[in-house]
A and B are shown apart, each in its own frame.
Chain A
């Protein structure tokens, strides 16, 4: 096997290096090291994945039979609201912040993030707002039950009149989550702009860094709009103001604009880093250069810009004038262009490659497959007539779960497996990983594919009971959901046992190119410290004789040989 294009540093890195701290207690305290914070984020988020999954399984348990027999319908409202909120704000955002924290400094050759203390603060807000959100299960009246959108006027009802009510705690938790995300975003953007390795111009950055930059800029531009809307909602709910209250002249649709101005881009905040993970893993596991590197990189910003002008497609059926519907239908369809660029680039990368089907690659392939499917239903939903027909049915639910779980969560699992050896210093068990993939893929498909049919036939979302004609689809979906629950067992087993007693990982187990793979596993405290390699090319030149970093000794010996 000839290894031509990643350099001797990989071999040098296997020398024992000082500094990789090995004290597990550091994960339980206030630590400013981005690698510790990253793992803190990921483990916390995976715990909430279990909780959100449990809520999801309770929902599917209720829906396995047509009548509402397992829960009272009002309890059911609380369940789906909390399921959505936990999954988005307690699982997806934190887990992606975690991966970003782990990967950004080593990938760009920085010793740490730009603001390590703010970074730690952003993480420690996660347990704070999680407790605030989960506390709402125990207040009179139960948790927020107006769906994760919290549309007024439903969300500004406070029938029991307590100041401390579920909806109010929900708004406070979302506000704190916003503070945490903004702190994180300005940290990531500053780090990426100012702390790159010498020679790493923008068009030599890994695609993951491009997508993180695009996603975090989107976060900075969009999130404050939701914060503004949430402040107004808070006042309406608790202090009797009339921003969104139609009884006193307010406009409930205005909240929908604030909400979706952020919450549609939020999908891209989550999916962009996953596109980055796909772009890192496909070349590494098919041993081919990434097809169209520059196009894939720039497409990230195409998505960022377009995603800020598509939000009204969530509001086609809430009294939106026709010209606005047409305009936003057009912009929404336009976003399929940069996304399509990426999809075709990945397929072209895979084409004729020497594929290595290990667990991370399987999750990537599964994620790509599901994303193409979910993308097509997305374009369907962008069409006004179809959207008005299937709006608020299970078709929409099925579509966004295909994106949120079957694409984003698949990409996250792929990323966790791919970089697990790097940051824990241990190899995971491939067999358990494959079992996890098989259960997840089959479970997810059984869970959400049939719901497309139920939705097209007209089964409304967010209702605890349904017409018996939809029963068959729901039974299959519930089986899939419970299968996903079972899938977490091999995953947890794998993570816990391989971290504690897995085989020691070499610096670069996958033969991948990238600054992080030049470091030992796990990397020392400050990554490269002062000995930062100079980057010569983008990290995707598999099989090409183009060096990735400048290596003095390599060039000296080459010059000596030449003379």
Chain B
């Protein structure tokens, strides 16, 4: 009785070899990272509702048009990166590289658009609560976009190394996941800052 039960247990999976945890670890990291943004969003919401003065002097609202174009580009890049991954799964490496590069370009355009928006604004980090929160949120998110582009560049270079995908496509999958994460954060951020005025 005990023996047959034990024999059954011998074949239950429980231990996996050293490699292969990267994706799990990365997902856990992203969950944790999202809490920092969550903290900022909560801070934004609380201060938006309670602060005695919200917009700095001379500012009555914030332009939506250019950020909206930016948003559309960033959100669609999330679909583009999905096709890049599909190409990689089908071992179409050049298809992957071209579409991957397209994602990078779209990300870079987003950063450029953010730069243009920042340079045209009349208020700064020190202009009251809204100024502080606006630059903190967009800046912190922008840092994540830039990190994403740099990591994608690294993956692009590594795709030329022969035998790079022998052990799986963990790197590309993680970066792609990160890109979707950056996207979702931006959508929440866009709703908070630009839609909820």
> Does A associate with B in a complex?
yes
Specify which of B24, B132, B140 is in contact with A243 (CB 8 Å cutoff): B132
Provide the residues of chain B in CB contact with A66, threshold 8 Å.
none
A323 interface residue, CB < 8 Å from B?
no
Specify which of A111, A197, A223, A240 is in contact with B14 (CB 8 Å cutoff): A197
Provide the residues of chain B in CB contact with A112, threshold 8 Å.
18
Q: Is the CB of A221 within 8 A of B43?
A: no
A235 interface residue, CB < 8 Å from B?
yes
CB distance from B54 to the nearest CB of A (A): 8
Q: Is the CB of B43 within 8 A of A200?
A: no
A187 interface residue, CB < 8 Å from B?
yes
Known contacts: A241-B132, A243-B47. The answer to whether A220 contacts B32 by CB under 8 A is yes
Query: CA of A34 to CA of B25 in the docked complex: distance in angstroms?
Result: 17
Q: Is the CB of A109 within 8 A of B36?
A: no
Chain B interfacial positions (CB closer than 8 Å to A): 2-3, 5-6, 9-16, 18, 20-21, 24-25, 28-29, 31-40, 43, 46-47, 50-54, 125-126, 128-129, 131-133, 136, 140
CB distance from A280 to the nearest CB of B (A): 21
**Beta-carbon nearest neighbor of A111 in chain B:** B18
Q: Is the CB of B6 within 8 A of A194?
A: no
Query: CA of A200 to CA of B10 in the docked complex: distance in angstroms?
Result: 10
Known contacts: A198-B13, A534-B6. The answer to whether A224 contacts B35 by CB under 8 A is yes
CB distance from A153 to the nearest CB of B (A): 15
Residues of chain A at interface, number, CB under 8 A = 56
A532 interface residue, CB < 8 Å from B?
yes
Specify which of B10, B39, B52 is in contact with A249 (CB 8 Å cutoff): B52
Q: Is the CB of A536 within 8 A of B9?
A: yes
A543 interface residue, CB < 8 Å from B?
no
Q: Is the CB of A536 within 8 A of B6?
A: yes
Q: Is the CB of B36 within 8 A of A227?
A: yes
Q: Is the CB of B14 within 8 A of A196?
A: yes
4 pairs of A and B residues whose beta carbons are closest in the complex: A228-B39, A224-B35, A241-B132, A199-B9
**Beta-carbon nearest neighbor of B16 in chain A:** A194
Q: Is the CB of A199 within 8 A of B126?
A: no
Specify which of A114, A220, A223, A249 is in contact with B21 (CB 8 Å cutoff): A114
Docked complex: A99-147 residues within 8 A CB-CB of B: 109-112, 114-115, 118
CB distance from B63 to the nearest CB of A (A): 22
Beyond A115-B21, A239-B125, 10 additional pairs, beta carbon < 8 A: A195-B16, A198-B10, A199-B12, A221-B32, A223-B32, A228-B35, A231-B136, A239-B126, A249-B51, A250-B51
CB distance from B167 to the nearest CB of A (A): 16
Provide the residues of chain B in CB contact with A212, threshold 8 Å.
none
Query: CA of A232 to CA of B29 in the docked complex: distance in angstroms?
Result: 21
**Beta-carbon nearest neighbor of B41 in chain A:** A228
Q: Is the CB of A555 within 8 A of B25?
A: no
**Beta-carbon nearest neighbor of A229 in chain B:** B39
Q: Is the CB of A250 within 8 A of B29?
A: no
Query: CA of A239 to CA of B126 in the docked complex: distance in angstroms?
Result: 8
Q: Is the CB of B35 within 8 A of A221?
A: yes
Provide the residues of chain B in CB contact with A232, threshold 8 Å.
40, 43, 132, 136
**Beta-carbon nearest neighbor of B135 in chain A:** A241
